[in-house]
């Protein structure tokens, strides 16, 4: 009978502390607690999915109940207690799903059996996974047991959302915040699994899977299991991209070339190609963001910040960007990604984003502009001062001052106010008597009641032109007309 198939995530689950990847501080603390006999009654393991919360709880329970641990306080995995815990049949280690058994009745059942002595091991251990799913009443029912537990009872909690656990529960536990696993450690773990399975996998493919897993070893193992079924021969980075539905890396290289040539038409060509292939535009934007993040990291910190396989792929593209350009594009993509998810026209939004990336080739950074302006200011300050500007605005003068400039002195002295005399409407003229013309007639002097006489036009002198008639011509004409009207009214 053939052996039943087991997925990689379960087949290669750590069976000792040395197999745990990326959680060194937590492992050291738990082993020292056993070494110095300082084991607490309650532990809380927090972290994102696939980082080893439940695995650490099981390993700690196995190490506590192991009858013959190693010198390094590792479980032997051979004694009856270790074998039962590994197979999930131990009566001393009870694993409870907090999402399914979340009510107060389930916790009451635990409180009733917690005082029973362990059957085989040293401790009776309760592992509650997804403990944040318990109800408030269930948490309150567990408080008294956690505060004063039996000597042989231990509680191990695991959760991805510790903020949902009551503070009264948190204060009674030792808390371990497990970090996301580094991509390099995930790639190394996948490489050891591939060697054990006699599969040929490129290092670039392993790093691509590790980066796609986002710090979760279980996700990476599940993806690797899927890819092993997709490819029968050697597994390359292109096969991984095809299996996971990612965009071909050649499109990114073409985008780099279009950026260097400032060929904006490629923005529409690339978007149309993605639509024809049915790619998720949101996932493509995430890939683009990750690529420019890696590029900015390479331009800022150099080759030491990246794996050799990644450096070899980015070396040609990195030459087409400056450090300022890569940082600007990364910042622009971070801001655009949040708006893109809310957009109702994702195709047009993606085209706009790609256009902005390509056009940023000729963008001048603000630091360069400030530097050039500073240098220009220093250069001008060393030269002679510039001549005053021609046609600078002059202060507007009062109407009385303009009148003095417009009208000459002789006109102002000759024009005197004339007393006002009412005009009597003329009577109908009587027929004038006929007189013989005299050879010479002298003009009669004007009487006091006659209308005011103005000086002859020949005696009025024209005003001398101003120095700057172009600025005050209109204003002076207006003042002269107003003054003449005032004199006539008087």
For residue 308 the two structure tokens come to: 């050799």
Q: State the CATH number of the domain containing residue 234.
A: 1.10.8.60
At which of 344, 362, 380 does a domain end? 362
Indicate whether this model's pTM tops 0.75.
no
Task: Clarify whether residues 131 and 232 are in a common domain.
Answer: no
If residue 451 lies in a helix (H) or strand (E), which one and from where to where?
none
Task: Clarify whether residues 269 and 325 are in a common domain.
Answer: yes
**What φ, ψ does residue 273 adopt, rounded to 5°?**
-65, -40
Per-position DSSP letters for 299-353, written without gaps between them: HHH-GGGS-HHHHHHHHHHHTT--HHHHHHHHHHHHHHHHHHHH-S-HHHHHHHH
Task: Clarify whether residues 98 and 160 are in a common domain.
Answer: yes
Task: Clarify whether residues 188 and 311 are in a common domain.
Answer: no
Task: Clarify whether residues 193 and 330 are in a common domain.
Answer: no
Asked whether the predicted pLDDT for residue 399 surpasses 60, the reply is no
Task: Clarify whether residues 41 and 125 are in a common domain.
Answer: yes
Domain membership flag for residue 461? no
Using CA atoms, how far apart are residues 143 and 166, in angstroms rounded to an integer?
Answer: 10
Domain membership flag for residue 420? no
Asked whether the predicted pLDDT for residue 392 surpasses 70, the reply is no
Asked whether the predicted pLDDT for residue 395 surpasses 70, the reply is no
pLDDT of 450: 46
> How large is the C-alpha radius of gyration of the chain?
48
199, 207 contact by CB (below 8 A): no
3-state secondary structure of 438: coil
Task: Clarify whether residues 39 and 170 are in a common domain.
Answer: yes
Task: Clarify whether residues 326 and 302 are in a common domain.
Answer: yes
Domain membership flag for residue 33? yes
Asked whether the predicted pLDDT for residue 448 surpasses 50, the reply is no
What are the beta bridge partners of residue 176?
A: 45
What pLDDT, in 10s, does the model give residues 185-227?
999 999 999 999 999 999 889 988 998 888 999 999 999 999 9
Domain membership flag for residue 339? yes
Closest CA to 255 of 226, 280, 285: 285
- Confidence band of 162 (pLDDT split at 50, 70, 90): very high
Q: Which of 175-184, 207-216, 358-367 has the lowest mean pLDDT?
A: 358-367
The number of distinct structural domains making up the chain is: 3
Task: Clarify whether residues 155 and 288 are in a common domain.
Answer: no
Domain membership flag for residue 456? no
Domain membership flag for residue 213? yes
Which residue pairs from 244-248 have beta carbons closer than 8 angstroms and sit at least 24 positions apart in sequence?
244/212, 245/279, 245/280, 245/283, 246/212, 246/283, 246/287, 247/274, 247/279, 247/284, 247/287
Task: Clarify whether residues 141 and 97 are in a common domain.
Answer: yes
What percentage of the chain reaches a pLDDT higher than 90?
40
Task: Clarify whether residues 155 and 210 are in a common domain.
Answer: no
Cα-based distances in Å from 356 to 279, 289, 350: 21, 14, 10
What pLDDT, in 10s, does the model give residues 257-310?
999 999 999 999 999 999 888 888 888 998 899 899 989 988 888 887 777 777
Domain membership flag for residue 328? yes
Q: What domain range is 239 assigned to?
A: 183-244
Task: Clarify whether residues 30 and 104 are in a common domain.
Answer: yes
Domain membership flag for residue 429? no
């Amino acid at each position: 009978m053939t052996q039943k198939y087991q997925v990689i995530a379960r087949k290669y689950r750590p069976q000792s502390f040395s197999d745990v990847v990326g959680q060194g501080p937590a492992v050291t603390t738990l082993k020292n607690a056993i070494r110095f006999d300082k084991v607490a009654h309650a532990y809380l393991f927090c972290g994102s999915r696939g980082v080893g919360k439940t695995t650490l709880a099981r390993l700690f329970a196995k190490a506590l109940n192991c009858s013959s641990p190693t010198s390094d306080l590792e479980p032997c995995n051979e004694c009856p207690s270790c074998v039962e815990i590994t197979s999930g049949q131990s009566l001393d280690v009870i694993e409870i799903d907090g999402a399914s058994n979340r009510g107060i009745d389930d916790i009451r059942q635990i409180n009733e059996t917690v005082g029973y002595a362990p059957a085989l091991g040293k401790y009776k251990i309760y592992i509650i996974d997804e403990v944040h799913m318990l109800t408030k009443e269930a948490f309150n029912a567990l408080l008294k047991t956690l505060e004063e537990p039996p000597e042989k009872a231990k509680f191990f909690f695991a959760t991805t959302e510790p903020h949902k656990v009551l503070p009264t529960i948190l204060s009674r536990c030792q808390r371990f915040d497990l970090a996301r696993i580094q991509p390099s450690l995930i790639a190394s773990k996948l490489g050891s699994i591939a060697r054990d399975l006699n599969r040929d996998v490129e290092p670039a493919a392993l790093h691509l899977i590790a980066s796609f897993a986002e710090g979760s070893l279980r996700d990476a193992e599940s993806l690797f299991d899927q890819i092993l079924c997709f490819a029968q021969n050697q597994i390359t980075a292109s096969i991984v991209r095809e299996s996971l539905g990612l965009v071909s890396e050649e499109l990114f290289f073409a985008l780099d070339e279009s950026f260097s040539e400032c060929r904006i038409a490629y923005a529409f060509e690339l978007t149309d190609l993605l639509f024809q292939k049915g790619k998720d535009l949101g996932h493509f934007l995430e890939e683009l963001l990750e690529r420019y993040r890696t590029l900015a990291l390479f331009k800022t910190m150099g080759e030491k910040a990246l794996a050799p396989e990644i450096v070899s792929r980015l070396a040609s593209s990195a030459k087409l960007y400056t450090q300022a350009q890569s940082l600007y594009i990364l910042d622009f993509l971070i801001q655009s990604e949040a708006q893109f998810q809310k957009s109702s026209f994702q195709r047009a939004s993606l085209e706009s984003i790609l256009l902005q990336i390509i056009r940023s080739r000729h963008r001048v950074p603000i630091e360069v502009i400030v530097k050039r302006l500073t240098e220009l200011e220093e250069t001008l300050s060393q030269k002679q001062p510039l001549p005053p500007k021609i046609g600078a605005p002059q202060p507007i003068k009062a109407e009385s001052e303009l009148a003095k400039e417009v009208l000459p002195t002789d006109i102002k002295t000759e024009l005197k106010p004339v007393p006002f005399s009412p005009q009597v409407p003329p009577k109908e003229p009587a027929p004038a008597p006929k007189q013989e013309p005299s050879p010479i007639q002298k003009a009669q002097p004007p009487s006091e009641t006659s209308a005011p006489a103005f000086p002859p036009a020949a005696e009025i002198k024209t005003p001398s032109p101003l120095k700057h008639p172009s600025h005050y011509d209109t204003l002076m004409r207006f003042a002269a007309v107003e003054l003449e009207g005032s004199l006539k009214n008087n």
